[in-house]
Structure 1
Amino acid sequence: MRNVSVISLSFMMALSLLAGCTDSSGGKTESSGSPAPTNSGGTKTEANVYPENGLPKDEKVVIKVGFWESGSGRAWMDTAVKKFTEKYPNVSFDITASPTLSTILEPKIASGDDKDMFDMFTPSFSAGEQYVRLTKAGKFEPQDDLWERDVPGEAGKKLRSVISDDAYDAALSFGYTTKVPLGGYTAGLFFDQNLFDKNGWNKSPATWDEFVALLDQIKAAGVIPITFPGVYAGYLTDYAFNMIPFDLAKANGKFDGYIANFRDFKGPQYTTEENKEAWKRMYEFGKKGYFPEGVAALNHTQSQMQVLQRKAALVATGDWVGNEMKEHTPADFKWGYMAIPATNDANQTVFINSGVADVGFAIWKAKPDLTKKWAKEFILSLYDFSIQETLASEAGTYPGRLDYGKDAARIAKLQPVQAAVMEYTTKHNVQYVSSRRNFYPTSPEAGQAGKLVSELITAVATGKKDPVPVLEEAEKLLQKAIEKDRPQ
């Protein structure tokens, strides 16, 4: 049960939020934020406010929402909006959804027209530093007050009490809560258990040598050992090989210092011995032909299709893959999961990428107070267990509540991919780690360094370029940016 609770802390990069309602007249008039009706004494009448939040019943509010529509689908959000508007019929939603929300969101922000801007939205940007800049500029409404609110239907149980410490710390990493953690993802290597069983392949290697032996067996059978989307090459590093340095640091007794350096940019980043070792291993795999030819042209769905078609054995992706590819999954396909064990100690700690606090709603600060209050009420409503269960069953993700795994009936609602992850954690000493940082350098040198490393991935995975010289060049650029941008 401990593993189930830990799993439910991880939070998915790729969660989709999509639904829509309008008021009964078909209009989309935004609330002015005026106070609720009062009696002759000048106070709110109890009959005209909702007792649980004190907000007015007879003032219509339309919440304009921007959703990033990704592989996790929209069904759970449809359920959430329907349930919320049934309870609060004076509130409706005007929703814009897109798999490329940043192309809509960023022009709205650039225009400076607060009235046209979404009230509430998934903060999906083409570059992470844009979110940092907006946060530093105070463009988001603080949501800190939600932590001390009761979760829906459970008087006395505060939202903070059902959110993990790591997720809470991540949410406060900029000094205030810009969004509360809603749901999560686990990343790694996913595969077809039936294919592995048919070939007698090891579905749960415990050591590095066992993992390499598995890849050798797969290649000898004429199957691509590991595929990934070269168009989004970070899937291979972020979701698989970037976990190896944490494994190695833990094995060498250096984990506390390594994670502190990672979170706060307090030393080398690209050129730590652990990181260089991970890249060297990926380079060796590239030279052995463990990755597909022409991988640079593959997108995420194409790489995932290679596994569904059994042309490749393992794909580096996130646990949203089952929901994203459900229309293409053969009836005799059974999802499995593994992470990369970095040492030859069978009892080693295996680190798994988890998206802690990566997903949530931001609220635009320059909006009417009443609109913002209702947006917060909607966000709080998403922690009702009925919605959290829909996240599990329809979106294919781990819900954000720490106590989700305490009920076997709720566990049963997890999709097969999440169940496979759970099975893996029962067999290994697993520790989840997020890629969050406590600040982000935004100077141009940081972007230049990131571009060098991003463009390096497919060259290394095809065995064409030694990674170390490029990592050293990127390190010099990044350190310049850190020196300029470190908070005082």
Structure 2
Amino acid sequence: MKKVNALTSVLVTFAVLLAGCSGNNDKPSASSSAPESAPASSASASSSASGSAESDVYPENGLSKSEKVTLKMGYWESGSGRAWMDRAVEKFTAKYPNVEFDITSSPTLETILEPKIAAGDDNDMFDLFIPRFSGANQHERLVTAGKLEPLDDLWERELPGESGKTLRSVISDDAYEATVSLGYTARLPVAGYTAGLFFDQKLFEEKGWNKNPATWDEFVALLDQIKSDGVIPITFPGVYSGYLTDYVFNILQFDLAKANGNFDTYLQNFRSFTGPQLTTPENKEAWSRMYDFGKKGYFPSGVAALNHTQSQMQVLQHKAALVATGDWVGNEMKNATPEGFTWGFMAVPAVNDVNQTIFVNSGISDIAFMIWKNKPELNKQWAKEFVISLYDFDIQTAIASEAGAYPARLDFGDDAARTEKLQPTQAAVMAYSSARNVQYISYRRDFGLTSPENGTADKMLSELITAVATGKKDPAPVLEEAEKLKQTAIEKDRPKS
């Protein structure tokens, strides 16, 4: 159970939801100038009116039962699907029949969301939405522009039906710090994810491949054996090449810093953008190893043209052994998964110490909800009520069983019956963490970079990935050039004290 609790504690991804408002603000207070007593008939009428008013509001939040409201939601229908969200909406509207939802659901929500933001029409904008953006640092820009409703008041809100248990008490410190890092709470997580290398356990057993390499040398030996057996060792979506860096190789810098004995300082500098970011010895070594793998032919030759489902299909078809992706892959590919296929998981052990700490990427803010500030107060109040309802254990369990994601609640793992609802990919991650000294880590920063120089640097790195993975380009010169741009952006964007 300690393993379960640790896992659910860290994985609070990313990612997704928002909660309530004070329940007493709308109730009238007694006037200090009122007479000490009133005629009986007047008191009776006053009591009747008061009783009528109270019967028209929900006691748990003070909102009107009769005033109808329609909430426009922008829902990112990712690999986690939509079944859990439909369940949540159905349960909420059964409890509050005066509330309706107008849901726009899309796997490419950014193509709908971003034009709405750019148009500046508050009436047409979603009341609440999952922050799915194509542009870098859009979250930070919206915060700076004052477009997002502050949600700081929600942390001490009691969870529906759970007296004495606040939202803050069931959220991990890492998730909390990530949501308030820009000065105020603009989004809240509802679920998280883990990412790394996923594979078919059955194929590994048939081939005699090592399912759990303990050291760097063992991991490289595994890839050599896979390649000698005529199978692509590692695949990833070149169209979304960040899968390879964010989920695998960028993590190695933290492994190496831990092994070098400077992890705490390294992580602090990473979070606060202090000192070099791309040209640290640890990060250059991680890119160098990816380049070495590219020269050895460990990745598909035509990887630049692959999208995420195509790369994942290569593993399902046993054309590739390992795919860089997230634990949503089981849910995303369930209709294409052949009988007998059993998902396994591994991360990369960066050094030759069997007791080393192995870091695993966890997303804590991708799956989250934001509320648009320039909306009627009633809409915002009900939007908050809805997002806090997503912390109900029934909905959190649906997130685990139907969406294939890790629930946000720290206490989800307190009940073994709930953890049994985790899908096979999450169970595989849990098994791996039990066998190795695993520590989960996110890429959150203390502030965002919005200057053009940062955008240019990120574009350079994105374009570099497939060139390095195919062994065509040494990453070192590009890292040096991108570092200069990154440092300029840091100097411009660092908050002034």
Alignment TM-score > 0.5, same fold: yes
For residue 112 of structure 2, the aligned residue among 104, 109, 112 is 104
Structure-2 residue corresponding to 1:20: none
Task: Look up the SS of the partner of 2:188 in the other structure.
Answer: coil
Q: Which moved more, 1:237-246 or 1:145-154?
A: 145-154
Q: Do structure 1's residue 290 and structure 2's residue 298 form an aligned pair? A: yes
For residue 197 of structure 1, the aligned residue among 201, 205, 208 is 205
Aligned positions of 1:186-265 closer than 5 A: 186-265=194-273
Q: In structure 1, give the amino acid aligned to 2:412.
A: Y
Q: Do structure 1's residue 351 and structure 2's residue 352 form an aligned pair? A: no
CA positional deviation for 1:98: 1.2
Q: Do structure 1's residue 10 and structure 2's residue 7 form an aligned pair? A: no
CA positional deviation for 1:6: 2.5
8 Å contact kept, 2:358–2:436: yes
Structure-2 residue corresponding to 1:281: 289
Paired with 2:458 and 2:53, the residues of 1 have a C-alpha distance of: 57
Task: Look up the SS of the partner of 2:363 in the other structure.
Answer: coil
Aligned positions of 1:295-310 closer than 5 A: 295-310=303-318
For residue 460 of structure 2, the aligned residue among 452, 458, 463 is 452
Structure-2 residue corresponding to 1:376: 384
Structure-2 residue corresponding to 1:143: 151
Aligned positions of 1:64-75 closer than 5 A: 64-75=72-83
8 Å contact kept, 2:253–2:286: yes
CA positional deviation for 1:15: 8.1
Structure-2 residue corresponding to 1:134: 142
Q: In structure 1, give the amino acid aligned to 2:293.
A: F
Paired with 1:124 and 1:378, the residues of 2 have a C-alpha distance of: 19
Aligned positions of 1:141-180 closer than 5 A: 141-180=149-188
From the superposition, tell whether residues 418 and 336 of structure 1 become closer, same or farther in structure 2 (CA, over 3 Å): same
Q: Percent same amino acid among aligned pairs?
A: 70
CA positional deviation for 1:125: 1.1
Task: Look up the SS of the partner of 1:104 in the other structure.
Answer: helix
Query: RMSD of the alignment, in Å?
Result: 1.9
Q: In structure 1, give the amino acid aligned to 2:329.
A: V
Paired with 1:465 and 1:10, the residues of 2 have a C-alpha distance of: 35
CA positional deviation for 1:374: 0.5
For residue 324 of structure 1, the aligned residue among 326, 332, 336 is 332
8 Å contact kept, 1:393–1:415: yes
CA positional deviation for 1:420: 0.3
From the superposition, tell whether residues 15 and 233 of structure 1 become closer, same or farther in structure 2 (CA, over 3 Å): farther
TM-score, normalised to structure 2, is 0.92
CA positional deviation for 1:128: 2.6
From the superposition, tell whether residues 366 and 444 of structure 1 become closer, same or farther in structure 2 (CA, over 3 Å): same
For residue 442 of structure 1, the aligned residue among 431, 447, 450 is 450
Structure-1 residue corresponding to 2:341: 333
Task: Look up the SS of the partner of 2:410 in the other structure.
Answer: coil
Structure-1 residue corresponding to 2:416: 408
In structure 2, the gaps of 5 or more residues are 18-24, 30-44
Task: Look up the SS of the partner of 2:409 in the other structure.
Answer: coil
> How big is each residue's C-alpha offset from its partner over 1:343-373, in whole Å with a ceiling of 9 and x where there is no partner?
0010000000000233211000111111101
Paired with 2:27 and 2:14, the residues of 1 have a C-alpha distance of: 39
8 Å contact kept, 1:37–1:56: no
Paired with 2:56 and 2:139, the residues of 1 have a C-alpha distance of: 38
Greater relative contact order (Cα 8 A, min sep 6): structure 1 or 2?
A: 2
Q: In structure 2, give the amino acid aligned to 1:10.
A: L
Q: In structure 1, give the amino acid aligned to 2:171.
A: I
In structure 1, the gaps of 5 or more residues are 17-33
Paired with 1:194 and 1:444, the residues of 2 have a C-alpha distance of: 48
Paired with 1:265 and 1:12, the residues of 2 have a C-alpha distance of: 22
Paired with 2:411 and 2:177, the residues of 1 have a C-alpha distance of: 18
From the superposition, tell whether residues 14 and 141 of structure 1 become closer, same or farther in structure 2 (CA, over 3 Å): closer
CA positional deviation for 1:265: 0.6
8 Å contact kept, 2:239–2:307: yes
CA positional deviation for 1:158: 0.8
Paired with 1:148 and 1:86, the residues of 2 have a C-alpha distance of: 26
8 Å contact kept, 1:49–1:56: yes
Structure-1 residue corresponding to 2:495: 487
8 Å contact kept, 1:351–1:431: yes
> How big is each residue's C-alpha offset from its partner over 1:75-94, in whole Å with a ceiling of 9 and x where there is no partner?
00010000000000010101
Task: Look up the SS of the partner of 1:310 in the other structure.
Answer: coil
Task: Look up the SS of the partner of 1:128 in the other structure.
Answer: coil
| Structure with larger Rg | 2
8 Å contact kept, 1:193–1:335: yes
Paired with 1:364 and 1:252, the residues of 2 have a C-alpha distance of: 45
Task: Look up the SS of the partner of 2:218 in the other structure.
Answer: helix
Paired with 1:286 and 1:418, the residues of 2 have a C-alpha distance of: 29
Q: In structure 2, give the amino acid aligned to 1:71.
A: G
8 Å contact kept, 1:14–1:70: no
Q: In structure 1, give the amino acid aligned to 2:94.
A: E
Task: Look up the SS of the partner of 1:301 in the other structure.
Answer: helix
Paired with 1:246 and 1:35, the residues of 2 have a C-alpha distance of: 50
CA positional deviation for 1:152: 2.3
8 Å contact kept, 1:12–1:318: no
CA positional deviation for 1:12: 4.8
8 Å contact kept, 1:36–1:59: no
Task: Look up the SS of the partner of 1:116 in the other structure.
Answer: coil
Paired with 2:4 and 2:220, the residues of 1 have a C-alpha distance of: 29
Task: Look up the SS of the partner of 2:324 in the other structure.
Answer: strand
Paired with 2:14 and 2:184, the residues of 1 have a C-alpha distance of: 21
Paired with 2:63 and 2:229, the residues of 1 have a C-alpha distance of: 64
Paired with 2:260 and 2:200, the residues of 1 have a C-alpha distance of: 33
Structure-1 residue corresponding to 2:20: none
CA positional deviation for 1:14: 8.5
Paired with 1:147 and 1:344, the residues of 2 have a C-alpha distance of: 43
Structure-1 residue corresponding to 2:33: none
8 Å contact kept, 1:65–1:120: yes
Task: Look up the SS of the partner of 1:469 in the other structure.
Answer: helix
Paired with 2:292 and 2:493, the residues of 1 have a C-alpha distance of: 35
TM-score, normalised to structure 1, is 0.94
> How big is each residue's C-alpha offset from its partner over 1:95-146, in whole Å with a ceiling of 9 and x where there is no partner?
1111111111111111111111110011111113221111112111111122
Q: Which moved more, 1:216-225 or 1:136-145?
A: 136-145
Paired with 2:244 and 2:16, the residues of 1 have a C-alpha distance of: 19
Q: Which moved more, 1:42-51 or 1:191-200?
A: 42-51
Paired with 1:46 and 1:119, the residues of 2 have a C-alpha distance of: 27
